[in-house]
Structure 1
């Protein structure tokens, strides 16, 4: 392995660029739906060896000294995000005559921007670089910081964070209840990069092998222990029905099909399930109602006839507010409406974190002058609620609504109102077809359940509709292309997790520890160099 490491370290020019890109692309195999995390044990050692060889010519400028490492990390990130996000371009084919020209920006432009975070991580790591285990800690620290920054800079887009590759199954998800996905990002990079030390000889290689074995065993051990501790957790007395109508996106907003779509939702809501007891809560996906519900008294009446006594419908729908305005016009919200059995909309949870260029247009007045529009918001655009609220239902359940990609942001779980007893994630992944996108989305939402110790009910127009318990175990699901509904008992929350209580504090402590190890490696190398020179 020493010979391989040296060959990679000494590559230059286009072979080096191609290898950096390919290493990033291979790492995507660790994400859903593949979950081949073994690929990351190849990609990250290659990245370590590439950074080993990312040496600049002597210069008084610190920026110039880390520039080769930045471009190595950027190419790694460009490969990673291009291979992991190419499916976003599928959304532009839905209304191709209007939006297909944006395809290069979505498929190549977005990955190029996101790759800057990985480039910055590689540059920072190189500034702390050493020749032993310290450089592994430096890389983990830098990537942990980059992935955390990616969750909020420019509104944030932490899709396919590295840590998800280390959590393919529930037993490996449990550390997220303590350190969250941000902590898992840093630890995952550390573990994935450790095999780079196998190119060393003697004690360093042995120590690295032992450390790798201990860390992987600890993750498995903690997972088995936590699942065993919560094995007595019970279900609530409530039953939930998740509806997946699988409406084709190209006809979803066709006025001539709106009644047919709505009647299909009603039919899935009223059909008899496996249990004689009707569900207490029915969940429809994001914007499932194909019109403004408050403008259709006949539709509200049909809901009242369909819902049984005591049933509550949580329906993804566009909410029109005459009292709140946007640009002098009534405001539209992407919402989760709570509807009682008598057809009364008694509460609503509006989306807080909107998708740039999807639900609203950044710099709208300027960009609209060039004919640019938000892809999923028609001409009206959506407004964002200033503060998320939980929805307290008459049956005692308290729902925390996360609409669409809000579920990929760990910090979006804070909300006003009563403490939640479940997370409700409604989405519409039909935009992306049967690609990795819907599966990646579902897997990332699943980790929110583990982090917070809450069950997660997920309803998708098409994609992956599922019910996950607070340990991330799947109770039932509908895959892409399946039209139907399933009923399941609603799991009870587990005891408050460390992550839910302290949020990013454990992650920050982990980051500080990795930084200290990186500094120790860096200064240790400097001290050894001085002794050698003396």
Structure 2
């Protein structure tokens, strides 16, 4: 049987990659991810040439990312300019590109770590190369950091909480070590597995939450999920649902609420100063007043919005994906502009080439969005410093906090209605990893779910399920002191990767 596998390594690698994808949400069969990674390491070690090793790694990546990113197809269901069937080809095409990164790790491991039999040094080199590969995937061509391997550990929260020390990419490298330990144990060598026992003990202790309770005077959060699908945005029922889930109860002495609405639900213009023809008879002041009527005297509403940009002639030339803060006096008291835009979603790369081919953005609109300056903390009156990361931005480890002004929480409005069934739980999982890394609570509000309040240690405090209308009302959870990762950022991944390489060199140089 083993000989058959090695004679046909490409389809076996595809299978191992697909198996590894089942460790992520919604299935969360994380032991199978370890099996899939161990299978990759075994196939690469047995490859006769560097070219064969790279080919095996790429096949593994294609199988893995085709399954893991199958939700990508659903984005095409809401685009009139391109047929939905194109989404299936797009999902596979994305996997063909993403397979380059496991290919890179496999080639490096074969070239610098391979011996006749797999050993600890080989596994350490593989782990270091995997860290480098995941980091490269997060930055090349604006980056696609979706679902690094470390996310599989959220069901084993103690392991996931190691990212507070070393970050997600380094924890992915530790995951490769664990898969490698399985491979060596299958070959009768248990030394690496024994060395990982203290790590598992540390993870077991970390699984117990030590988060302090919310302060008695903490302001309230009200997270609203109207359950309005991507194809129904802007309809009157949406406004009625948002109002019903938001309206202030009028209780005397009630604590102030920070009301959190999703991305993409506010269609009426809120800013003054646009050309009159834009408003079509509506007043931006009246639109803000209608929102203010839903608020108590000390409440503030944070809502996604898309303000416009005009040229000197008064023509629309751009827009931004923003969050506006509206107080009970109908004033705009803060604004955040999304910085990390989604290629093909919020802008079309190489439009001079792609538009003549009939390709368009996946999000309806006639022009691309403008990018904001980056992570930003806004001081919201009555609520203090609040950080913002809109939708896709939350997946980028080490790039979610304004380092000069640490917030007390991060608001992550999103539109997950075009992510299918698999995308929303995966998106939520990655937000939980950011909460652990930064030691900050993260609050997600989406039109169709999964909306959630995430504690600073990654614990899910409350959720509104997928495709369900509802609201969460609870006190603002406390932040933790800055974590080691929040101070080092992705330098932590560099340090861990170099430590793995140094250990591999030491193992190879020691006398036998």
TM-score (norm 2): 0.91
Aligned counterpart, 1:28 = 21
Closer, same or farther in 2 for the Cα pair 1:83/1:24, shift >3 Å? same
Structure 2 contact 413–446 (Cα < 8 Å) conserved:
yes
Structure 1 contact 458–465 (Cα < 8 Å) conserved:
yes
Aligned counterpart, 1:246 = 227
Corresponding residue to 2:483 among 483, 493, 497: 497
Corresponding residue to 2:7 among 12, 18, 28: 12
Aligned counterpart, 1:163 = 150
Corresponding residue to 1:266 among 234, 240, 243: 243
Closer, same or farther in 2 for the Cα pair 1:278/1:387, shift >3 Å? same
**Pairwise CA distance, 1:518:** 2.8
Closer, same or farther in 2 for the Cα pair 1:334/1:389, shift >3 Å? same
Structure 1 contact 449–471 (Cα < 8 Å) conserved:
yes
Aligned counterpart, 2:431 = 445
Structure 2 contact 75–87 (Cα < 8 Å) conserved:
no
Query: Are residues 1:363 and 2:356 paired?
Result: no
- Map 1:117-516 onto structure 2 (within 5 A): 117-128=101-112, 129-130=114-115, 131=117, 132-201=119-188, 205-224=189-208, 227-228=209-210, 230-231=211-212, 234=215, 237-253=218-234, 257=235, 259-270=236-247, 272=249, 277=254, 280-294=257-271, 295=279, 296-297=282-283, 298-322=286-310, 329-415=316-402, 418-433=405-420, 435-516=421-502
Give the CA RMSD over aligned residues.
2.5
1:355-406 per-position Cα deviation (integer Å, ceiling 9, x unaligned):
0001100112332233322111411221111333211111132111100110
**Pairwise CA distance, 1:104:** 3.8
- In 2: Cα distance, 1:347 partner to 1:513 partner: 44
Closer, same or farther in 2 for the Cα pair 1:26/1:221, shift >3 Å? same
Moved more, 482-491 or 374-383: 374-383
| Matched residue SS, 2:413 | strand
5+ residue gaps, structure 2: 272-278
Structure 2 contact 337–372 (Cα < 8 Å) conserved:
yes
Closer, same or farther in 2 for the Cα pair 1:506/1:477, shift >3 Å? same
Structure 2 contact 340–371 (Cα < 8 Å) conserved:
yes
Structure 1 contact 236–490 (Cα < 8 Å) conserved:
no
**Pairwise CA distance, 1:278:** 5.9
Structure 2 contact 450–466 (Cα < 8 Å) conserved:
yes
Structure 1 contact 261–290 (Cα < 8 Å) conserved:
no
Aligned counterpart, 2:92 = 108
| Matched residue SS, 1:112 | helix
**Pairwise CA distance, 1:422:** 0.5
**Pairwise CA distance, 1:153:** 0.7
**Pairwise CA distance, 1:515:** 1.1
Aligned counterpart, 2:276 = none
1:99-147 per-position Cα deviation (integer Å, ceiling 9, x unaligned):
4253244210001100101111100110122331111111111111101
1:17-62 per-position Cα deviation (integer Å, ceiling 9, x unaligned):
1110010111112111222111123112211211121112xxxxxx
Structure 2 contact 42–183 (Cα < 8 Å) conserved:
yes
1:260-295 per-position Cα deviation (integer Å, ceiling 9, x unaligned):
322321221106599993651000001111343334
- In 1: Cα distance, 2:502 partner to 2:217 partner: 45
5+ residue gaps, structure 1: 57-65, 529-534
| Matched residue SS, 2:59 | helix
**Pairwise CA distance, 1:443:** 0.5
Identify, as 1 or 2, the structure richer in helix: 1
- In 1: Cα distance, 2:215 partner to 2:503 partner: 42
- In 2: Cα distance, 1:344 partner to 1:519 partner: 62
- In 2: Cα distance, 1:274 partner to 1:212 partner: 55
Moved more, 422-431 or 188-197: 188-197
